[in-house]
């Protein structure tokens, strides 16, 4: 039974990754009694980068009933087992942030406590050698994990690299089949209701008006509704995350077809490398205070595996978030809500998280503050906890060879980050907050990978009565053997999900 106050029309402003993900998910959730309209402008276009993801994207596709192989064929996709960080903690040093765990749970103290003790005796493998994701990734191997918890092949997780433009196109087809109406046109005005202050309708440049009960602002950086019309305000985080620009360029596929993203720290930022089936995506994220655009472009072009397929394209951004993600009858999803620098590939995840919350807290036309406050409370914590994790990468550098890294090593960080650094430094403890997206293995990877070595272990460790030193060596051998038995990444793709030609 529908109440008189039910939402009868949803208008999505914008057709980038955020707009089409929102349209597809709402079309799947809303079956009757409410229209869904998406407005986008080919003239304005989309950001068009954003190709690496984290494992929860698989749940998004599953909920929509999208089969993995169909999705990968349509988006030139590949598999991602984690991120390799080069030159972050120190020059000529690498570590891997894996999806999944180190070893597996075998005691109520975590494995890394035994690893720290073994390391102090000089008898430990590198930490990376104790996770299945790296055992496979470093050998260019991929297959989906097993479900059997007794197997080391159940201890890793995975996500995808894909062409975000093709994903939006794929989701457009999905949405239109489920009655989402797409309007092509450029919005020139946003009108508010004089009484409630809510958005009443948007007006296209050709004069058409589109009214709605609920508006989802997916208009990208400009935040046409959330900022342009409602002046919600923005928190700028550049004092902690100073990068404000990126040069992006695709190149021909060459070099290793890695089942992982690579992030290489450079003098004024870092460079990504994301291998897709038909090309490799590359970009240099940098702080314009420390390098000119021309120099950033030259550095990027000098560090490609293959022939560039375009001129480098500049993007500018301010890392931070809106004061509110949901204001009156407008929910900001995607870049309109905030910008998280892409170091841990979390922006598409934040889109997904925004959509999941919107469906879980779907409003009626009262727009009860109980609902909107709850949405904002969760969204703000999710954003801030990811921010903390990214800050950790910058703060824990021992590099002093350039102005950016000297700034980052010396900068003040939020208390929520200091608290984590100090707990780890003292006893190797990985303390967590409620909304942390990244779990203990992810934080462990960055602490150790960037040289935040604990001064001591958990005080309980010596009271456990065993050091499990042999177990670590056996585990390392088991992971290598398991990885050797997996197919090569490219062979797995050729067999299961080779891309279909793009029309």
The set of catalytic residues is: 80
Contact status: 52 vs ligand FAD (CB under 6 A): yes
Contact status: 276 vs ligand FAD (CB under 6 A): no
Q: Strand 338-339's sheet: what is its strand order?
A: 234-236, 320-322, 338-339
CB 113 within 8 A of CB 458: yes
Map residues 136-175 to x or -, x wherever contact with ligand FAD holds by CB under 6 A.
----------------------------x-----------
Q: Shortest Cβ distance from residue 334 to ligand FAD (Å)?
A: 2
Q: How many residues does this entry show for the chain?
A: 503
Per CB under 6 A, the segment of 47-55, 60-68, 386-394, 425-433 that binds ligand FAD is 47-55
Count CB neighbours of 220 within 10 A.
21
Q: What's the rounded Cα separation, in Å, for the pair 471 and 243?
A: 42
Q: What's the rounded Cα separation, in Å, for the pair 89 and 206?
A: 54
Per CB under 6 A, the segment of 45-53, 73-81, 132-140, 141-149 that binds ligand FAD is 45-53
DSSP β-bridge partners for residue 98: 82
Contact status: 190 vs ligand FAD (CB under 6 A): no
Contact status: 269 vs ligand FAD (CB under 6 A): no
Which of 95, 54, 90 minimizes the C-alpha distance to 340?
A: 54
Q: What's the rounded Cα separation, in Å, for the pair 351 and 215?
A: 15
* Region 200-259 residues binding ligand FAD, contact defined as CB under 6 A: 218-220, 222, 224, 246, 248
Contact status: 40 vs ligand FAD (CB under 6 A): yes
Contact status: 44 vs ligand FAD (CB under 6 A): yes
Q: Shortest Cβ distance from residue 406 to ligand FAD (Å)?
A: 24
Contact status: 78 vs ligand FAD (CB under 6 A): no
Q: Shortest Cβ distance from residue 343 to ligand FAD (Å)?
A: 9
- Using CB under 6 A, which of 23, 26, 30, 50 touches ligand FAD? 50
Which of 85, 18, 69, 497 minimizes the C-alpha distance to 273?
A: 85
Q: For the chain, first and last CA: distance in Å?
A: 44
* Region 293-332 residues binding ligand FAD, contact defined as CB under 6 A: 315, 317
Residues 6+ apart with CB under 8 A from 436: 385, 389
17 or 457, CB closer to ligand FAD? 17
- E strand intervals along 244-356: 245-251, 261-266, 269-275, 280-286, 313-316, 320-322, 326-327, 330-332, 338-339
Sign of CA dihedral 444, 449, 453, 456: positive
187 or 461, CB closer to ligand FAD? 187
Q: Which residues bind ligand FAD (CB under 6 A)?
A: 14-19, 39-41, 44-47, 49-53, 164, 186-187, 218-220, 222, 224, 246, 248, 283, 315, 317, 334-336, 342, 345, 347-348
């Amino acid at each position: 039974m529908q109440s008189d106050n039910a939402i009868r029309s949803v208008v999505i402003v914008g057709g980038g990754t955020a707009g089409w993900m929102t349209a597809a998910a709402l079309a799947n959730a809303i079956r009757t009694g409410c229209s869904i309209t998406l407005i986008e402008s080919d003239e304005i276009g989309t950001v068009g980068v954003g190709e690496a993801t984290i494992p929860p994207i698989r749940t998004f596709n599953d909920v929509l009933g999208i089969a993995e192989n169909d999705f990968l064929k349509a988006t030139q996709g590949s598999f991602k087992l984690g991120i390799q960080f080069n030159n972050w903690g120190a020059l000529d040093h690498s570590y891997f942030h894996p999806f999944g765990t180190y070893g597996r749970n075998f005691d109520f103290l975590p494995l890394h406590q035994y690893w720290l003790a073994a390391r102090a005796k000089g008898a430990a493998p590198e930490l990376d050698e104790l996770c299945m994701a790296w055992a496979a990734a470093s050998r260019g191997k991929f297959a989906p994990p097993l479900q059997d918890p007794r197997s080391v092949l159940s201890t890793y997780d995975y996500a995808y690299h894909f062409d975000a433009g093709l994903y939006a196109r794929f989701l457009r087809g999905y949405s239109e089949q489920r009655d989402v109406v797409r309007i092509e046109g450029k919005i020139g005005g946003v009108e508010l209701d004089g009484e409630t202050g809510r958005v009443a309708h948007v007006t296209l440049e050709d004069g058409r008006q589109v009214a709605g009960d609920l508006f989802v602002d997916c208009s990208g950086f400009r935040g046409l509704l959330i900022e342009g019309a409602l002046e919600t305000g923005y928190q700028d985080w550049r004092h902690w995350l100073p990068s404000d620009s990126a040069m992006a360029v695709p190149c021909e596929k060459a070099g290793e077809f890695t089942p992982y993203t690579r992030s290489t720290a450079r003098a004024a930022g870092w460079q990504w490398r994301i291998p897709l089936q038909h090309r490799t995506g590359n970009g240099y994220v940098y702080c314009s205070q420390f390098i000119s655009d021309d120099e950033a472009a030259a550095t990027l072009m000098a560090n490609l595996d293959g022939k560039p397929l375009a001129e480098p394209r500049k993007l500018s951004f301010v890392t931070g978030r809106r004061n509110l993600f949901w204001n009156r009858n407008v929910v900001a999803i995607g870049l309109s809500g905030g910008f998280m620098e892409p170091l841990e590939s979390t922006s598409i995840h934040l889109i997904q998280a925004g959509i999941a919350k919107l469906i879980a807290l779907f409003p009626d036309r009262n727009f009860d503050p109980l609902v909107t406050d709850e949405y904002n409370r969760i969204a703000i914590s999710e954003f801030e906890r990811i921010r903390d994790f990214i800050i950790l990468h910058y703060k824990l550098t021992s590099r002093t060879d350039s102005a950016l890294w000297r700034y980052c090593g010396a900068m003040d960080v939020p208390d929520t980050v200091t608290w984590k650094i100090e707990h780890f430094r003292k006893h190797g403890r990985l303390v967590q907050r409620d909304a942390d997206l990244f779990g203990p293995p992810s934080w462990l990877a960055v602490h150790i990978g960037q040289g935040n070595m604990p001064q001591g272990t958990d005080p309980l460790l010596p009271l456990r009565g065993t050091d499990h030193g042999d177990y670590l060596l056996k585990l390392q051998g088991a992971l290598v053997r398991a990885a050797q038995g997996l197919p090569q990444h490219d062979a797995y793709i050729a067999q299961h999900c080779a891309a279909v030609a793009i029309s």
